[in-house]
Amino acid sequence: MLKEAAFYQSISDDKLLCQLCPAECKLAEGQVGICGCRFNRQGKLYTDNYGEAVTLAIDPIEKKPLYHFHPTTNILSTGANGCNLGCLHCQNWTISQSKTHTTYIEPAALVEAAGKHGSIGVAFTYTEPIIWYEYIMDTAPLLHEAGYKVVLVTNGYINAEPLSHLLEHIDAANIDLKGMRPEFYKKVCKGKLEPVLETIRTVAASHVHLELTNLLIPGKNDSDEDITRLVEFVASISDRIPLHLSAYHPQYKLNIEATPADTMLRAFSIAQSKLKHVFLGNVALTDGSDTACASCGHKLIRRSGYRTEIVGLDGSKCSECGAETGIVR
Ligand code: SF4
Ligand code: SF4
Protein backbone atom coordinates (compact mmCIF):
# COMPACT_ATOMS: atom_id res chain seq x y z
CA MET A 1 0.00 0.00 0.00
CA LEU A 2 1.26 3.47 -0.89
CA LYS A 3 1.84 6.06 1.83
CA GLU A 4 3.59 9.42 1.77
CA ALA A 5 6.96 8.92 3.43
CA ALA A 6 8.17 10.68 6.55
CA PHE A 7 11.37 12.73 6.61
CA TYR A 8 12.17 14.12 3.19
CA GLN A 9 12.67 17.50 1.59
CA SER A 10 12.88 18.98 -1.87
CA ILE A 11 16.46 19.91 -2.86
CA SER A 12 15.88 21.10 -6.43
CA ASP A 13 13.12 21.40 -9.01
CA ASP A 14 13.05 17.68 -9.61
CA LYS A 15 14.94 16.07 -6.72
CA LEU A 16 13.96 14.94 -3.24
CA LEU A 17 16.31 14.10 -0.38
CA CYS A 18 15.18 11.23 1.83
CA GLN A 19 16.31 11.95 5.39
CA LEU A 20 15.13 8.77 7.09
CA CYS A 21 18.47 6.98 7.07
CA PRO A 22 22.15 7.86 6.57
CA ALA A 23 22.05 6.69 2.94
CA GLU A 24 20.29 10.04 2.30
CA CYS A 25 19.20 9.10 -1.22
CA LYS A 26 18.67 11.95 -3.65
CA LEU A 27 15.83 10.88 -5.87
CA ALA A 28 14.73 12.36 -9.19
CA GLU A 29 11.21 11.75 -10.53
CA GLY A 30 10.54 7.99 -10.64
CA GLN A 31 13.78 7.03 -8.89
CA VAL A 32 13.70 4.45 -6.08
CA GLY A 33 15.97 4.59 -3.02
CA ILE A 34 18.51 1.97 -1.97
CA CYS A 35 15.91 0.36 0.29
CA GLY A 36 13.77 -0.46 -2.73
CA CYS A 37 10.57 0.96 -1.28
CA ARG A 38 10.79 4.78 -1.32
CA PHE A 39 10.42 6.72 -4.54
CA ASN A 40 9.80 10.18 -5.94
CA ARG A 41 6.43 10.61 -7.62
CA GLN A 42 5.57 14.09 -8.83
CA GLY A 43 7.59 15.83 -6.15
CA LYS A 44 6.44 13.71 -3.20
CA LEU A 45 8.27 10.85 -1.55
CA TYR A 46 6.19 7.71 -1.15
CA THR A 47 6.80 4.30 0.35
CA ASP A 48 5.06 1.31 -1.22
CA ASN A 49 5.55 -1.08 1.70
CA TYR A 50 3.05 0.36 4.21
CA GLY A 51 1.54 -2.61 6.07
CA GLU A 52 2.87 -5.04 3.46
CA ALA A 53 4.21 -8.00 5.46
CA VAL A 54 6.36 -10.76 4.03
CA THR A 55 5.60 -13.05 6.94
CA LEU A 56 3.90 -13.37 10.31
CA ALA A 57 5.16 -15.94 12.82
CA ILE A 58 5.23 -16.63 16.54
CA ASP A 59 8.77 -16.97 17.88
CA PRO A 60 10.33 -17.35 21.31
CA ILE A 61 11.64 -13.93 22.34
CA GLU A 62 15.04 -15.60 22.75
CA LYS A 63 15.12 -16.12 18.97
CA LYS A 64 15.24 -12.34 18.22
CA PRO A 65 17.68 -12.61 20.14
CA LEU A 66 16.55 -10.88 23.33
CA TYR A 67 17.67 -12.78 26.44
CA HIS A 68 16.89 -10.21 29.15
CA PHE A 69 13.47 -8.97 28.00
CA HIS A 70 10.48 -11.03 29.18
CA PRO A 71 12.43 -14.31 29.06
CA THR A 72 10.45 -17.49 28.25
CA THR A 73 7.70 -15.58 26.38
CA ASN A 74 6.69 -15.64 22.72
CA ILE A 75 6.36 -12.70 20.36
CA LEU A 76 4.55 -12.23 17.06
CA SER A 77 7.20 -11.44 14.47
CA THR A 78 6.79 -9.68 11.16
CA GLY A 79 8.72 -7.68 8.57
CA ALA A 80 8.58 -5.93 5.21
CA ASN A 81 10.39 -6.34 1.92
CA GLY A 82 13.69 -4.48 1.59
CA CYS A 83 16.60 -3.09 3.57
CA ASN A 84 18.67 0.08 3.60
CA LEU A 85 21.91 -1.93 3.79
CA GLY A 86 23.10 -4.63 1.40
CA CYS A 87 25.16 -7.09 3.44
CA LEU A 88 26.99 -9.63 1.30
CA HIS A 89 26.18 -12.29 3.89
CA CYS A 90 22.48 -11.45 4.46
CA GLN A 91 20.71 -14.61 5.59
CA ASN A 92 17.33 -13.09 4.65
CA TRP A 93 18.48 -11.77 1.27
CA THR A 94 15.49 -13.24 -0.60
CA ILE A 95 13.21 -10.80 1.25
CA SER A 96 15.68 -7.99 2.06
CA GLN A 97 17.27 -7.59 -1.38
CA SER A 98 14.39 -8.44 -3.71
CA LYS A 99 10.65 -8.01 -3.95
CA THR A 100 8.60 -10.98 -2.85
CA HIS A 101 4.92 -11.64 -2.23
CA THR A 102 3.46 -9.59 0.65
CA THR A 103 0.12 -9.44 2.44
CA TYR A 104 -1.42 -6.17 3.62
CA ILE A 105 -2.11 -6.14 7.36
CA GLU A 106 -3.78 -2.96 8.55
CA PRO A 107 -2.57 -1.65 11.93
CA ALA A 108 -5.72 -2.76 13.80
CA ALA A 109 -5.39 -6.29 12.40
CA LEU A 110 -1.79 -6.53 13.60
CA VAL A 111 -2.92 -5.46 17.07
CA GLU A 112 -5.59 -8.16 17.01
CA ALA A 113 -3.02 -10.79 16.01
CA ALA A 114 -0.48 -9.58 18.59
CA GLY A 115 -1.98 -11.31 21.62
CA LYS A 116 -2.56 -14.73 20.07
CA HIS A 117 -0.59 -17.86 21.02
CA GLY A 118 0.71 -16.29 24.24
CA SER A 119 2.56 -13.49 22.44
CA ILE A 120 3.55 -10.41 24.46
CA GLY A 121 3.37 -8.12 21.43
CA VAL A 122 5.07 -7.59 18.10
CA ALA A 123 8.68 -7.77 16.98
CA PHE A 124 9.51 -5.94 13.75
CA THR A 125 12.30 -8.10 12.40
CA TYR A 126 13.53 -10.41 9.56
CA THR A 127 14.47 -7.51 7.24
CA GLU A 128 14.98 -3.88 8.33
CA PRO A 129 12.18 -2.26 10.37
CA ILE A 130 13.57 1.24 9.83
CA ILE A 131 12.28 1.20 6.27
CA TRP A 132 8.83 0.29 7.67
CA TYR A 133 8.94 3.52 9.64
CA GLU A 134 5.50 4.92 8.81
CA TYR A 135 3.74 1.62 9.53
CA ILE A 136 5.53 1.11 12.84
CA MET A 137 4.84 4.71 13.89
CA ASP A 138 1.11 4.14 13.23
CA THR A 139 0.93 0.66 14.73
CA ALA A 140 3.13 0.87 17.84
CA PRO A 141 0.88 3.34 19.74
CA LEU A 142 -2.11 1.04 19.09
CA LEU A 143 -0.14 -1.93 20.37
CA HIS A 144 0.77 -0.02 23.53
CA GLU A 145 -2.84 1.07 24.06
CA ALA A 146 -3.82 -2.60 23.96
CA GLY A 147 -1.10 -3.46 26.49
CA TYR A 148 1.40 -5.10 24.13
CA LYS A 149 5.17 -4.72 23.80
CA VAL A 150 6.94 -3.43 20.71
CA VAL A 151 10.34 -4.77 19.75
CA LEU A 152 12.77 -3.83 16.96
CA VAL A 153 15.47 -6.09 15.57
CA THR A 154 17.45 -3.60 13.55
CA ASN A 155 20.69 -2.64 11.86
CA GLY A 156 20.50 0.74 13.63
CA TYR A 157 20.98 2.60 10.33
CA ILE A 158 18.73 5.58 10.94
CA ASN A 159 19.13 9.33 11.28
CA ALA A 160 18.88 10.99 14.69
CA GLU A 161 15.56 12.80 14.33
CA PRO A 162 13.47 9.87 13.07
CA LEU A 163 15.13 7.70 15.72
CA SER A 164 14.13 10.04 18.51
CA HIS A 165 10.45 9.81 17.47
CA LEU A 166 10.61 6.06 16.96
CA LEU A 167 12.07 5.41 20.40
CA GLU A 168 8.98 6.91 22.04
CA HIS A 169 7.09 3.85 20.80
CA ILE A 170 9.58 1.04 21.36
CA ASP A 171 10.13 -1.16 24.43
CA ALA A 172 13.18 -3.19 23.40
CA ALA A 173 15.69 -3.41 20.59
CA ASN A 174 18.37 -5.73 19.41
CA ILE A 175 20.82 -3.77 17.27
CA ASP A 176 23.21 -5.54 14.93
CA LEU A 177 26.69 -4.06 15.38
CA LYS A 178 28.36 -5.71 12.43
CA GLY A 179 31.95 -4.69 13.08
CA MET A 180 34.09 -1.78 14.22
CA ARG A 181 35.91 -0.84 11.01
CA PRO A 182 34.36 1.73 8.65
CA GLU A 183 35.79 -0.10 5.61
CA PHE A 184 34.05 -3.32 6.72
CA TYR A 185 30.72 -1.49 6.83
CA LYS A 186 31.42 0.07 3.43
CA LYS A 187 32.60 -3.04 1.59
CA VAL A 188 30.61 -5.84 3.23
CA CYS A 189 27.45 -4.07 4.42
CA LYS A 190 27.20 -1.15 1.95
CA GLY A 191 26.79 1.43 4.68
CA LYS A 192 28.60 3.53 7.28
CA LEU A 193 29.69 2.56 10.78
CA GLU A 194 29.42 5.85 12.70
CA PRO A 195 25.61 6.28 12.41
CA VAL A 196 25.15 2.79 13.85
CA LEU A 197 27.39 3.62 16.82
CA GLU A 198 25.41 6.82 17.34
CA THR A 199 22.12 4.88 17.29
CA ILE A 200 23.49 2.47 19.91
CA ARG A 201 24.57 5.35 22.17
CA THR A 202 21.15 6.99 21.80
CA VAL A 203 19.16 3.81 22.48
CA ALA A 204 21.35 2.95 25.48
CA ALA A 205 20.62 6.38 26.96
CA SER A 206 16.84 5.95 26.46
CA HIS A 207 14.18 3.92 28.29
CA VAL A 208 14.44 1.17 25.65
CA HIS A 209 15.86 -2.20 26.71
CA LEU A 210 18.94 -2.79 24.53
CA GLU A 211 20.82 -5.89 23.45
CA LEU A 212 23.45 -6.14 20.71
CA THR A 213 24.40 -8.79 18.16
CA ASN A 214 27.70 -9.23 16.36
CA LEU A 215 28.08 -11.83 13.60
CA LEU A 216 31.66 -13.06 13.40
CA ILE A 217 32.78 -13.62 9.80
CA PRO A 218 36.14 -15.39 9.30
CA GLY A 219 38.80 -13.04 7.93
CA LYS A 220 36.39 -10.10 7.79
CA ASN A 221 35.68 -8.95 11.34
CA ASP A 222 36.92 -11.70 13.66
CA SER A 223 40.48 -10.65 14.59
CA ASP A 224 41.39 -10.13 18.23
CA GLU A 225 41.65 -6.42 17.44
CA ASP A 226 38.18 -6.31 15.85
CA ILE A 227 36.59 -8.10 18.78
CA THR A 228 38.47 -6.05 21.38
CA ARG A 229 37.44 -2.76 19.76
CA LEU A 230 33.83 -3.85 19.63
CA VAL A 231 33.77 -5.03 23.22
CA GLU A 232 35.51 -1.88 24.45
CA PHE A 233 32.94 0.26 22.64
CA VAL A 234 30.08 -1.63 24.31
CA ALA A 235 31.79 -1.50 27.72
CA SER A 236 32.31 2.26 27.34
CA ILE A 237 28.50 2.57 27.34
CA SER A 238 27.72 -0.16 29.90
CA ASP A 239 29.23 -3.53 30.75
CA ARG A 240 25.67 -4.79 31.45
CA ILE A 241 24.45 -4.58 27.83
CA PRO A 242 23.89 -8.18 26.68
CA LEU A 243 26.10 -9.00 23.67
CA HIS A 244 25.17 -11.90 21.38
CA LEU A 245 28.14 -13.23 19.41
CA SER A 246 26.79 -15.15 16.47
CA ALA A 247 28.48 -17.59 14.09
CA TYR A 248 28.36 -16.89 10.34
CA HIS A 249 27.35 -19.55 7.81
CA PRO A 250 27.80 -19.08 4.02
CA GLN A 251 24.92 -17.02 2.60
CA TYR A 252 24.02 -14.89 -0.40
CA LYS A 253 27.17 -13.35 -1.96
CA LEU A 254 29.66 -14.42 0.69
CA ASN A 255 30.89 -17.96 0.33
CA ILE A 256 33.63 -18.52 2.87
CA GLU A 257 33.93 -21.15 5.60
CA ALA A 258 31.53 -20.98 8.54
CA THR A 259 32.89 -19.48 11.75
CA PRO A 260 34.82 -22.22 13.58
CA ALA A 261 33.98 -23.05 17.19
CA ASP A 262 37.43 -21.97 18.39
CA THR A 263 36.85 -18.47 16.95
CA MET A 264 33.59 -18.28 18.88
CA LEU A 265 35.32 -19.36 22.08
CA ARG A 266 38.16 -16.86 21.51
CA ALA A 267 35.65 -14.04 21.01
CA PHE A 268 33.68 -15.20 24.04
CA SER A 269 36.80 -15.05 26.20
CA ILE A 270 37.74 -11.53 24.99
CA ALA A 271 34.19 -10.26 25.45
CA GLN A 272 33.81 -11.76 28.91
CA SER A 273 36.90 -9.88 30.09
CA LYS A 274 34.97 -6.60 29.64
CA LEU A 275 31.25 -7.43 29.66
CA LYS A 276 28.97 -9.16 32.17
CA HIS A 277 26.50 -10.80 29.77
CA VAL A 278 27.97 -12.44 26.66
CA PHE A 279 26.12 -15.12 24.70
CA LEU A 280 27.02 -17.40 21.79
CA GLY A 281 24.54 -18.09 19.01
CA ASN A 282 24.27 -20.13 15.79
CA VAL A 283 26.80 -22.64 17.10
CA ALA A 284 26.62 -25.96 18.96
CA LEU A 285 28.50 -24.99 22.12
CA THR A 286 27.35 -25.24 25.70
CA ASP A 287 29.27 -22.10 26.74
CA GLY A 288 27.52 -18.76 26.38
CA SER A 289 23.93 -19.92 26.92
CA ASP A 290 23.02 -19.06 30.49
CA THR A 291 22.66 -15.77 32.36
CA ALA A 292 24.49 -15.37 35.67
CA CYS A 293 24.10 -12.55 38.18
CA ALA A 294 26.63 -9.80 37.40
CA SER A 295 27.08 -9.20 41.14
CA CYS A 296 27.42 -12.68 42.70
CA GLY A 297 27.59 -15.14 39.78
CA HIS A 298 24.43 -17.02 40.79
CA LYS A 299 22.69 -18.65 37.80
CA LEU A 300 19.57 -16.66 36.89
CA ILE A 301 18.38 -18.15 33.59
CA ARG A 302 19.26 -21.52 32.05
CA ARG A 303 18.95 -22.01 28.28
CA SER A 304 19.25 -24.99 25.99
CA GLY A 305 18.44 -24.16 22.38
CA TYR A 306 15.22 -22.17 22.68
CA ARG A 307 14.24 -23.95 25.92
CA THR A 308 14.53 -21.32 28.63
CA GLU A 309 14.11 -21.77 32.37
CA ILE A 310 14.19 -19.05 35.01
CA VAL A 311 16.09 -20.54 37.93
CA GLY A 312 17.38 -17.67 40.07
CA LEU A 313 15.21 -14.58 39.73
CA ASP A 314 12.92 -12.94 42.21
CA GLY A 315 11.10 -10.51 39.94
CA SER A 316 13.99 -8.72 38.27
CA LYS A 317 16.36 -9.27 41.23
CA CYS A 318 18.86 -12.05 41.87
CA SER A 319 17.23 -14.51 44.24
CA GLU A 320 20.62 -15.16 45.88
CA CYS A 321 22.09 -11.70 46.57
CA GLY A 322 19.13 -9.41 45.81
CA ALA A 323 21.03 -7.34 43.21
CA GLU A 324 19.04 -5.68 40.45
CA THR A 325 19.76 -7.66 37.25
CA GLY A 326 18.35 -5.38 34.53
CA ILE A 327 16.24 -8.29 33.26
CA VAL A 328 12.82 -6.98 32.23
CA ARG A 329 9.87 -9.21 33.23
S1 SF4 B 1 15.20 5.09 3.77
FE2 SF4 B 1 15.58 4.29 1.70
S3 SF4 B 1 15.27 6.02 0.31
FE4 SF4 B 1 15.49 6.84 2.40
S5 SF4 B 1 17.66 7.35 2.58
FE6 SF4 B 1 17.42 5.30 3.43
S7 SF4 B 1 17.80 3.89 1.69
FE8 SF4 B 1 17.47 5.94 0.82
S1 SF4 C 1 21.06 -5.22 7.54
FE2 SF4 C 1 20.22 -7.25 7.97
S3 SF4 C 1 18.49 -7.50 6.54
FE4 SF4 C 1 19.73 -5.78 5.82
S5 SF4 C 1 21.09 -6.68 4.29
FE6 SF4 C 1 22.19 -6.62 6.26
S7 SF4 C 1 21.83 -8.63 7.19
FE8 SF4 C 1 20.29 -8.35 5.55
Q: Which domain holds residue 294?
A: 290-329
Low-confidence ranges of the chain (pLDDT < 50): none
Compute, in angstroms, the gap from residue 158 CA to the centroid of ligand 2: 14
185/128 same-domain check: yes
**Above pLDDT 70, what percent of the chain?**
100
Q: How far is the CA of 34 from the centre of ligand 2 (A)?
A: 12
CATH number at residue 230: 3.20.20.70
**pTM score, two decimals?**
0.98
157 and 297 part of one domain? no
Do 21 and 71 share a domain, yes or no? Answer: no
Whose atoms come closest to the Cα of 49: which ligand?
1
* CB of 111 sitting under 6 A from ligand 2: no
Q: Which residue's CA is the nearest one to ligand 2's atom 7? A: 90
Considering the domain architecture, whether residues 186 and 295 belong to the same structural domain is answered as: no
Q: How far is CA 209 from the centre of its chain?
A: 12
Residues near ligand 1 with C-beta < 6 Å? Answer: 18, 20-21, 23-25, 33-35, 38, 84, 131
* Amino acid found at 60: P
Establish whether residue 156 lines the binding site of ligand 2, counting it when its CB lies within 6 angstroms of any ligand atom: no
Q: Which of 29, 32, 113 is nearest to 77 (CA)?
A: 113
* One domain for residues 206 and 169: yes
Q: Same domain for 13 and 151?
A: no
Number of structural domains found in the chain? 3
pLDDT score at 286: 83
Least distant ligand from the CA of 189: 2
**Predicted pLDDT at 80:** 97
Say if residue 146 is in the same domain as residue 33. Answer: no
**Ligand 2 pocket residue status of 87, Cβ below 6 Å:** yes
Residue 283 and residue 177 share a domain: yes
Cα of 28 vs centre of ligand 2, distance in Å, is 26
List, in sequence order, every residue forming a beta bridge with 278; answer none if it has no partner. Answer: 243
pLDDT at 116: 85
Q: Is the CB of 36 under 6 A from ligand 2?
A: no
| 135 lies in the same domain as 227 | yes
Q: What confidence score (pLDDT) does residue 168 get?
A: 98
- Compute, in angstroms, the gap from residue 75 CA to the centroid of ligand 1: 28
Q: Are residues 282 and 317 in the same domain?
A: no
Helix (H), strand (E), coil (C) string for the chain? CCEECCCEEECCCCEEEECCCCCCCEEECCCECCCCCEEEECCEEEECCCCEECEEEEEEHHHCCCCCECCCCEEEEEECCCCCCCCCCCCCHHHHCCCCCCEECCHHHHHHHHCHHHEEEEEECCCCHHHHHHHHHHHHHHHHHCCCEEEEEECCCCCHHHHHHHHCCCCEEEEECCCCCHHHHHHHHCCCHHHHHHHHHHHHCCCCEEEEEEEECCCCCCCHHHHHHHHHHHHHHCCCCCEEEEECCCECCECCCCCCHHHHHHHHHHHHCCCCCEEEECCCCCCCCCEECCCCCCEEEEEECCEEEECCEECCEECCCCCECCCEC
Residues 173 and 280 placed together within one structural domain of the fold: yes
Task: Give the model's pLDDT for residue 115.
Answer: 85
CA distance 311 to 298: 9
Where does a domain end: 30, 47, 64?
Answer: 47
Tell me, using a 6 A CB cutoff, whether residue 84 lines ligand 2. Answer: no
The Cα 10–Cα 44 span in angstroms is: 8
pLDDT in tens, 284-326: 888 899 999 999 999 999 999 889 999 999 999 999 999 999 9
Q: Are residues 223 and 326 in the same domain?
A: no
Q: Judge if the beta carbon of residue 23 lies within 6 A of ligand 2.
A: no
Using the mean position of ligand 1's atoms as its centre, give its distance from the Cα of residue 41 in Å. 15
